[in-house]
Structure 1
Amino acid sequence: MMRHIAKRAIARSLSLLSLSAILLEPLVLPVFAAPPRNPDQTVDCDILVVGGGLSGAATAYEGLLAGRTVCLTEITDWVGGQISAQGTSALDERPTQRQQLFYSRGYLELRERIQRKYRQLNPGDCWVSESCFLPGDGHEILSSILRDAARRGRGNLRWYPNTVVKDLEFNPNRTVIQSAIAIQHRPARGTAPLNTLPLSQTLEDAYRYENSAQLDKTIIRFTPRRQAQGTAPNWYVVDATETGELIGLADVPHRLGIDPRSFLEPSSASATGDPYCTQGFTYTFAMEATQEPQTHTPPPFYDQYAPYYSYELQRLADFGLVFTYRRIWSPRTGEPQRFGGINFTAPTPGDISMQNWTWGNDYRPGTSQDNLIYTREQLQATGQLQPGGWLGGLRTETLRRGEEHAKGYFHWLVAGTTDSQLGDGVKRPYPNNRFLSGFNSPMGTAHGLSKYPYMREGRRIIGRPSPAHPDGFMVWEIDISRRDYNDAYYRETLSPSTYRALKAALAGLEATQALQSQNPQNVARRTRSTIFPDSVGIGHYAIDFHPCMTFSPPEAPGNTEREGERQGAGQAYPFQIPLRALIPQRVDNMLIAGKSIATSHIAAAAYRVHSFEWSAGAAAGTTAAFALERNIAPYQLVENLPQPQPQLEALQRRLQANNNPIAFPNTSIFNLDWGNWR
């Protein structure tokens, strides 16, 4: 056993990885179900992008610049995901990458247009980011970027807001998606406009073919724009949804939640894994500082959620600091303040803050009774994998609780006097604030919550098997973490053979020394992330956790975060996005963009922020256009690695020529000077 693990560790250090065993149930792809009436429209595309978040927008952007016809669907009526419909319009960036402006071209254009819109990059004068702005403006800016990309590239953008994919039709071998059936909804005649009700009250209705009391439906069939040429796919379907929705619908191999502990994922909180413990999701909202005190009445459900709320840490226990953390609009600058070592300017009347706080409006279920994203077994049990049974793959009751939880947090901020983590005497009321709601409010909803929750983690594919990866490709914790793994926790938690394999896998060119040494903890580890020969994008962010809670419901008095979940948190090296992480098993014309690429639970905690999403989407859009042009399937670009792949190299050259970086400056197995990247 020791010899076997050691060989695997050496192979990994040479970029010939072999993953730990992954148990997969037999794959049964859903059978296409005919809708109850003929489709109202048939629309053809070169690239169908499902999900209009940042990654979906980036996919569309590159496809349009390549002259392709791109169909872009989105469950809400705003494009932009994190920066718009999810309300987190505060760009998460790392200092070194930001200082060098080393980003994909489309992301740079987004930043430039924010600057142009406000005549500054940070109209909110927030302290968490260099750029905090209004979500509705994020939608407008990104919409104009896509329109201009279509004009410049002579592409064709077909935009379908308020649209979800209901069914997929496969070829007889179930390797190619031949068409997709989608449902676009609008308010039924005589009913309130969309965005009047929160998502939990409309989600499942949006996925049903039949018209309802609140929604009228249009059934759209998406098909390829061109005839097949040879055996290569004639169109591509890109899953850029926030939860890996098509991954669940197509039933391709994937993981959810915590991965089993191994030398590849040594900080895992579970020896066996736990699919129910994903990172928390957040319904954001906006609040405005006022000159005069406001009257605040507790919502009827407040007492249920009040035991959860907290400033979390003593160094964060200041209302002004929390308000300005993600302040998205500030008409005038307040007095300089400092609390807990953080500088900010005091809130002033008219300031608008977007709230996204771990022990605030984060909702963090973690058990089979309340998890938000259904596992494969739960999808089967609820009938969502049956023909025509797909309803989005989410637990709507948990969405509802998350909505209540967020509104309760606002009341705690302005009127609460308890703190679940810091005790009595810390929290006092701040009545000079009001909750912003209405169609003209920052979130664009009558209820005031974001149109869709901010998602940190969804289903994550397992990439294709290969001789080097017999159980499927995955980016793991040790591929990106800066941790040295020398502390007692790892020596005591991991078996001696697993610990030696860990040190060998991290030793880079010194792997043999690590395996032969009597004291492997003394062997120096490489000081960079894994270099992937098939890199098609970049990202850099800390491994940042918003862990699930231990018991159900999350707001239960005295509940705690899942033990060990923060063990993997910490700094990461600048990292790459391998093409293999975008290619699912078995379906040849599907690509994955955004948070659902093949990363582990811990790696996903860094592979989830704004600039990464754009880079992954740029890679997906460029790859789809390249594959159509060359009549080659994406998996063929990487199936013989590590041997040289001329077509892969041509794709990488195209990405770089288009100012979409695939590696950080001076990336090399011999460059160990990454200590200054922060």
Structure 2
Amino acid sequence: MHHEQVDLVIIGGGLGGVAAALAACEQGLNVFMSEETDWIGGQVTSQGVPPDEHKWIESFGRTKRYQNYRESVRETYLQMLNVKAGDTPFNPGNGLVSQICHDPRVTLKVLNDQLLPYSITGQLNIHYHTKVEEVKSGPSTIEETVFKHTQSGDLTSVSAPFVIDASEEGSLLPIANMDYVVGAESKADTCEPHARAEADRNDIQAITNVLGMEYRSGEDHTIEKPYMYDFWKQFKPDFWPDQYLSLYAPHPVTKEKRQYTLFKEETGFPLWEYRRIYDASKYESNYTAGDVTLMNWPMNDYFLGNVYEVSEGEKQKHIEQSKQLSLSLLYWLQTEAPRPDGGQGYPGLMLRRDLFGTSDGLAKYPYIRESRRIKAEYTIVEQDVSPEYQPLKVGKSYEDSVGIGSYSIDLHPSMGGHNYLDIPALPFHIPLGALLPQDMENVVAGSKNIGTTHITNGCYRLHPVEWNIGEASGELIAFCLKHQVQPKEVRREPQLLKSFQNQLRSNGFELEWPAEFYEKQEVEYESKH
């Protein structure tokens, strides 16, 4: 077994893990980072979900490093493609979900470029196809982490004074026998208005296996009929207003039957434009390419079973069935979807197998909306972000704030058989206490595994917030090593906390909503009244 000694172990190379690595490496730390796939970037790359962001993201409500990442994405397009003059800020795919909808391979390039200087010197060592196998722990610390390469079977043990779990599923927590929460808490646990009477470990949000499609009108790119097509064709959940393979779904807020369309029509929500990552009209090219979009829609959310807290066989079964759902939806669109002209099917939809570099054309990893969550020093509850409970224009203020973010509480249908929960949430703050496990001294949460509840996970799980969480965790470890303290001491000691927050501000963090935010809110209020 190979052994390494580093300053910091980061488990997971998603957005949180990458941001943690950038922050730690810039401070001079020697970092070991594992990643289960062969792509870093997590939800925006290997899972195929374009950045889902709040409406102020171009001006504020993000860290400086996150803004640098976004600018680099745009600059990559402007340097490599012949972009027509047009909208500012430039939106590569002209998608509805974000002002920066783009090809996942562009983020992969940008993040690799940002980390490359540290990889060249050996300061950062990224191990792909690698997952945690076991840990060796003291009473409240992890002394050594053993990783397994999933293809070769080789083992590597790594010793480090600190560990950040930035994995998609909170993978470290059960292996290290840490206290954690999975699924939904009860109302007695959290007193949240929208919590259910009973806790349910299976009440976990749907996963989604994303695929990419290009539309080439007049051509026929119909795929082979998926072997589970007949199952998904007849599938109709109790809370769904129509067959699952259809252009109808519940409205996330009202639950009423909502009509969708594939392309933009007079009525209905245009699915194609929702997560479009390439808008051919924005580019000059000698090659005739069609628009490209990513399928992450209501109709391919999978909630028949979870992919963690189960056996490996059960996990693979649900991943495969989720893939079959996405392929079946594509096949239905190609062959049976009703068209405005009265015909059926769009055979010009072409599965872009090259997009993720996979043989089946699907993303390398399912989109995981909801992770295992640490039992934290502080747990963020619905009351912290609800306009019903907070008198100001923002969520609860925390003395230990390490960042800000904004998104509604957006819960997709769950493994527990529950429909959407989409309710307002105020622009919020990220408390340091939510990153710190109660039962470990040298472990920090760096992704969607922080101390949220099932409900508040719905607004803390999106791209800029995950990045902020990961980046703050990397900054925290650098601060602790420099001052020879533990993470909980930083939160507990006012002078240490103030010094750490000053470090964050100097490195481009926003710990409170700026005056510009309140000014914009006033303008919006006056325009409405």
Fold similarity call, TM over 0.5: yes
User: Is 1:317 equivalent to 2:249 in the alignment?
Assistant: no
TM superposition shift of 1:265: 4.6
Report what 2:401 is aligned to.
Answer: 535
User: Is 1:304 equivalent to 2:157 in the alignment?
Assistant: no
Q: Distance in 2 between matches of 1:429 and 1:254?
A: 46
Report what 1:158 is aligned to.
Answer: 125
Report what 2:87 is aligned to.
Answer: none
Report what 2:360 is aligned to.
Answer: 447
Report what 2:410 is aligned to.
Answer: 544
Instruction: Report which of the two has the higher share of strand.
Output: 2
Report what 1:32 is aligned to.
Answer: none
2:213 to 278, 287, 290: 287
Report what 1:170 is aligned to.
Answer: 137
1:656 to 491, 505, 517: 505
TM superposition shift of 1:292: 2.6
SS at match of 1:145: helix
The answer to whether the 8 A contact 2:385-2:425 is kept is yes
Q: Distance in 2 between matches of 1:425 and 1:604?
A: 42
TM superposition shift of 1:356: 0.2
The answer to whether the 8 A contact 1:527-1:675 is kept is no
User: Is 1:435 equivalent to 2:351 in the alignment?
Assistant: yes
TM superposition shift of 1:349: 5.1
Report what 2:53 is aligned to.
Answer: 93
The answer to whether the 8 A contact 2:202-2:416 is kept is no
Question: What does 1:532-611 correspond to in 2, within 5 Å?
Answer: 532-548=398-414, 562=418, 566=421, 569-611=422-464
1:372 to 304, 307, 322: 307
User: Is 1:249 equivalent to 2:209 in the alignment?
Assistant: no
- TM-score, normalised to structure 2's length? 0.86
User: Is 1:136 equivalent to 2:95 in the alignment?
Assistant: no
Q: Distance in 2 between matches of 1:258 and 1:178?
A: 31
The answer to whether the 8 A contact 1:283-1:449 is kept is yes
Report what 2:276 is aligned to.
Answer: 327
Gaps of 5+ in 2: 84-89, 236-243, 252-256, 264-269
TM superposition shift of 1:248: 2.0
The answer to whether the 8 A contact 1:259-1:265 is kept is no
TM superposition shift of 1:262: 4.9
Question: What does 1:381-460 correspond to in 2, within 5 Å?
Answer: 395-417=315-337, 428-437=344-353, 441-460=354-373
Residues 1:183 and 1:138: Cα distance change in structure 2 (over 3 Å): same
Write the letter of the residue equivalent to 2:380. Answer: V
The answer to whether the 8 A contact 1:63-1:155 is kept is no
Q: Distance in 2 between matches of 1:425 and 1:259?
A: 48
Write the letter of the residue equivalent to 1:131. Answer: I
Question: What does 1:31-50 correspond to in 2, within 5 Å?
Answer: 39=1, 41-50=2-11
User: Cα deviation per residue 1:304-350 (whole Å; 9 max; x = unaligned)?
Assistant: 1123223326664211121221111223259xxxxxxxxxxxxx952
Residues 1:161 and 1:272: Cα distance change in structure 2 (over 3 Å): same
The answer to whether the 8 A contact 1:289-1:433 is kept is yes
TM superposition shift of 1:100: 1.7
The answer to whether the 8 A contact 1:75-1:163 is kept is yes
User: Is 1:272 equivalent to 2:198 in the alignment?
Assistant: yes
Report what 2:77 is aligned to.
Answer: 118
Q: Distance in 1 between matches of 2:386 and 2:470?
A: 23
Residues 1:123 and 1:99: Cα distance change in structure 2 (over 3 Å): closer
TM superposition shift of 1:251: 2.2
Write the letter of the residue equivalent to 2:290. Answer: G
Residues 1:629 and 1:332: Cα distance change in structure 2 (over 3 Å): same
Question: What does 1:173-192 correspond to in 2, within 5 Å?
Answer: 173=139, 175-184=140-149
Residues 1:292 and 1:261: Cα distance change in structure 2 (over 3 Å): same
Report what 1:63 is aligned to.
Answer: 24
Q: Distance in 1 between matches of 2:219 and 2:523?
A: 47
Report what 1:260 is aligned to.
Answer: 186
Q: Distance in 2 between matches of 1:148 and 1:115?
A: 21
TM superposition shift of 1:149: 6.3
SS at match of 1:445: coil
Write the letter of the residue equivalent to 1:357. Answer: W
TM superposition shift of 1:536: 1.0
User: Cα deviation per residue 1:217-259 (whole Å; 9 max; x = unaligned)?
Assistant: 22111113xxxxxxxxxx2111001111111211211111112
The answer to whether the 8 A contact 1:278-1:457 is kept is yes
Identity of aligned residues (%): 28
Q: Distance in 2 between matches of 1:138 and 1:677?
A: 33
TM superposition shift of 1:549: 5.3
The answer to whether the 8 A contact 1:474-1:599 is kept is yes
Residues 1:302 and 1:149: Cα distance change in structure 2 (over 3 Å): same
The answer to whether the 8 A contact 1:574-1:677 is kept is no
Q: Distance in 2 between matches of 1:82 and 1:113?
A: 18
TM superposition shift of 1:148: 4.1
SS at match of 2:214: strand
SS at match of 1:332: helix
Report what 1:350 is aligned to.
Answer: 290
Gaps of 5+ in 1: 1-38, 185-205, 207-214, 225-234, 335-347, 383-390, 465-472, 485-505, 508-524, 552-561
Q: Distance in 1 between matches of 2:524 and 2:45?
A: 29
TM superposition shift of 1:267: 3.5
Residues 1:260 and 1:583: Cα distance change in structure 2 (over 3 Å): same
Residues 1:165 and 1:104: Cα distance change in structure 2 (over 3 Å): same
SS at match of 1:408: helix
Q: Distance in 2 between matches of 1:98 and 1:589?
A: 32
The answer to whether the 8 A contact 1:255-1:461 is kept is yes
Q: Distance in 1 between matches of 2:416 and 2:39?
A: 34
User: Cα deviation per residue 1:538-581 (whole Å; 9 max; x = unaligned)?
Assistant: 21111112121555xxxxxxxxxx15x52xx2222111111111
User: Is 1:665 equivalent to 2:525 in the alignment?
Assistant: no
Q: Distance in 2 between matches of 1:142 and 1:354?
A: 20
Equivalences, count: 488
Write the letter of the residue equivalent to 2:383. Answer: I
User: Cα deviation per residue 1:633-666 (whole Å; 9 max; x = unaligned)?
Assistant: 1012224xxxx61001110000001111222114
TM superposition shift of 1:170: 1.0
Residues 1:59 and 1:427: Cα distance change in structure 2 (over 3 Å): farther
Write the letter of the residue equivalent to 1:299. Answer: P
User: Cα deviation per residue 1:507-546 (whole Å; 9 max; x = unaligned)?
Assistant: 6xxxxxxxxxxxxxxxxx4443111111112211111121
